[in-house]
Structure 1
Amino acid sequence: MNFIITDAWLAKSRAIHLSGRRLGVALCGLSLLLAMTVATLYHWVILKGAREGWPVVGAIVRLVVQDEIEQRERYMRENLDAMARRVGEMQAKLVQLEALGERVSGLAGVNPAEIKTVPARGGALVSGRPLSMEELQTTLSDLDAVADNRVDLLTVVESRLFDQRVRKMMVPTQHPVNGVRAGSAFGYRIDPFTGRSALHTGLDFQADTGTAILAAAGGVVVTQEPHHAYGNMVEVDHGNGLVTRYAHASRVLVRKGDLVKRGQKIAEVGSTGRSTGPHLHFEVMLDGVPQDPQKFLNAGAHLPGMGSSRIAAAARR
């Protein structure tokens, strides 16, 4: 496209040639300039009309602002309602958790009343009216306090249950030889070597040589040595004054100072020391005084939830 520009007297002229690409760029620039001009004028008219209270412009501005406010409030209300429903669900779950915590605390011997409880309040959520932001924040604060309280209770319950489990594992109630019933019982009997009445301080479990001897409870090996009467002997300290003794072993698998677990194989049946044949001589001592091991084994079979102090008290009777 060619443009010819002349002056008023047609004395001078100038020709401008625009190719298709140049023409397109020029039209785009012109359109952009026109749009910016219109936007600037519109913005100026709206602002000036709003400041000076022009009737038509003021009405338009008020409608636009009111619509924006209504949309914002509608969005906030929808979100608040959704959050309120979620908070209501959380309240219901916390009530279930509280009931569960009370049942479990009973099993652990913990009185929930000993721990300060914070009641969950949910009236605002079930009243059927819209919640305000302040009410929602208050309810969330209450739920947070209730959750903290439940955490404290369950932490105490966990600690108590763990302590009970540890004490149970440290009480000698595990049979030291699987599948073998005790033969010679605890108490006075005729000594097979002297033919006289003598106190038999433990239980005898007759078994083949090499049969596994198991720790009756978890503890620490305090003695592992040959003895003129007990032969190859192991003693395990379980705490609370309880010590078990395993005698006449053909082979010992632990050393002094070793930690052993309940039911762990610590030796093998034999006939070493003062013995008439392969068997395990098993003793339980409380504060150095021999006790009837059968009472401990019976307590473990019939009273699995008893603590070490109660089993020890039962063994004294």
Structure 2
Amino acid sequence: MHLIITDAWLARSHAVHLSGTKLVLAGLGLSLALMMVAAGLYHWVFLKGAREGWPVIGTLVKLVVKDEFEQRDRFMRENLDVMAKKLGEMQAKMVQLEALGERVSGLAGVVPSEIKRVPGRGGALVSGRPLSMEELQATLADLEQLTDQRVDLMTVVESRLFDQKVRKMMVPTQKPVSLGQLGSSFGWRIDPFTGRSALHTGLDFQAEPGTSILAAAGGVVATQEFHPAYGNMVEIDHGNDLITRYAHASKVWVKKGDLIKRGQKIAEVGTTGRSTGPHLHFEVLVQGVPQDPQKFLAAGENLPAPQMARAMAPAPAAPGQR
């Protein structure tokens, strides 16, 4: 394409040659410039019309804004409905948990009414109308308070159950010799050395020498010594002025101050001290007064099978030998 440009008096002329590529680039540049100018004018006119409330533009702006608000409100409503449903499910589960807590607290001897309660609305979140954000927040606050209350109750129940378990583990209800036969019982009998009537303050378990002697309950070794009458003797303090005594042992596996678990091996059957043959002399003393050990052992035998298995699970033997 050739263009000849002349001045007004035709004195001078200038020829311009435009190829196809240059024409395309020129067209694109001109189109881009026109688009930018149009966009700038549209933006300016639209903003000015929106600010000054021009009839047509103002109505168009209101329609656009209204549509955006409706879409946003619909999105929020859908999310609020989902949140309300989930919250209702959580509240229903909290009601079930509360009922379970009431039953467990009864087993632990805890009265839930004694624990500070926080007023809440409770119940499942059921409503026939859409819920607002404020209502959801209020329900969440109530649920949080109820959760804190349940945590407090369960903490007290756990503490009480743990205390009960420890107390049971500290009561001598386990037989101290698993492979022994009961000989002399608690009470008055003819003394084998003097031939006179004397009070036998414990139970005798006849067993082979070397048979393991097990702690009847958990506690702390209060005494480990050789006694003229009891021979090699071990006394375990279980707290609450309750002590068990194990006498005539051939070997002792613990020392004073050791922490003892229920069923732990503490000694071996022997015939040391004032004894006529290999056996274990087992005593239970409350505030220093001998009690019939058979009453304690019978209480252990009357426990339900699962509880008995847990209470009498043997502990590993103490390492080393004294």
TM interval, shorter chain, is 0.7 to 0.9
Distance 1:138 1:278, change over 3 A: same
Count of residue correspondences: 303
**Are residue 110 (structure 1) and residue 110 (structure 2) matched?**
yes
Equivalences for residues 43-58 of structure 1 within 5 A: 43-58=43-58
Equivalences for residues 65-76 of structure 1 within 5 A: 65-76=65-76
Instruction: For 2:181 and 2:26, locate their aligned partners in 1 and report how far apart those are by CA, in whole Å.
Output: 109
Question: Is contact 1:212-1:269 (8 Å) kept?
Answer: yes
- Let me know the Cα RMSD of the aligned residues: 2.6
Equivalent position of 1:11 in the other structure? 12
**Cα offset, 1:56, TM superposition:** 1.7
Instruction: For 2:28 and 2:181, locate their aligned partners in 1 and report how far apart those are by CA, in whole Å.
Output: 104
**Are residue 296 (structure 1) and residue 315 (structure 2) matched?**
no
Q: Could you give the per-residue CA deviations for residues 255-301 of structure 1, whole angstroms, max 9, x where no partner exists? A: 11110101111111111111111111101111111111111111222
Distance 1:252 1:74, change over 3 A: same
Q: Could you give the per-residue CA deviations for residues 156-203 of structure 1, whole angstroms, max 9, x where no partner exists? A: 000000110111111111110114342210111111111111111110
Distance 1:284 1:68, change over 3 A: same
Instruction: For 1:24 and 1:276, locate their aligned partners in 2 and report how far apart those are by CA, in whole Å.
Output: 126
Amino acid at match of 2:99: A
* Identical aligned residues as a percent: 72
Instruction: For 2:163 and 2:110, locate their aligned partners in 1 and report how far apart those are by CA, in whole Å.
Output: 12
Equivalent position of 2:171 in the other structure? 171
Equivalent position of 2:314 in the other structure? none
5+ residue gaps, structure 1: 306-317
Instruction: For 2:287 and 2:147, locate their aligned partners in 1 and report how far apart those are by CA, in whole Å.
Output: 45
TM-score (norm. length: structure 2): 0.86
Amino acid at match of 1:216: A
Instruction: For 1:256 and 1:3, locate their aligned partners in 2 and report how far apart those are by CA, in whole Å.
Output: 120
SS for the counterpart of 1:268 is: strand
Amino acid at match of 2:211: T
Amino acid at match of 2:12: A
Distance 1:110 1:102, change over 3 A: same
Instruction: For 1:57 and 1:140, locate their aligned partners in 2 and report how far apart those are by CA, in whole Å.
Output: 44
Question: Is contact 1:124-1:135 (8 Å) kept?
Answer: no
TM-score (norm. length: structure 1): 0.87
Equivalences for residues 55-204 of structure 1 within 5 A: 55-118=55-118, 120-121=120-121, 125-204=125-204
**Cα offset, 1:57, TM superposition:** 1.2
5+ residue gaps, structure 2: 308-322
Instruction: For 2:123 and 2:219, locate their aligned partners in 1 and report how far apart those are by CA, in whole Å.
Output: 55
Equivalences for residues 18-29 of structure 1 within 5 A: none
SS for the counterpart of 2:245 is: strand
**Cα offset, 1:19, TM superposition:** 10
Question: Is contact 2:177-2:213 (8 Å) kept?
Answer: yes
**Are residue 249 (structure 1) and residue 249 (structure 2) matched?**
yes
SS for the counterpart of 1:156 is: helix
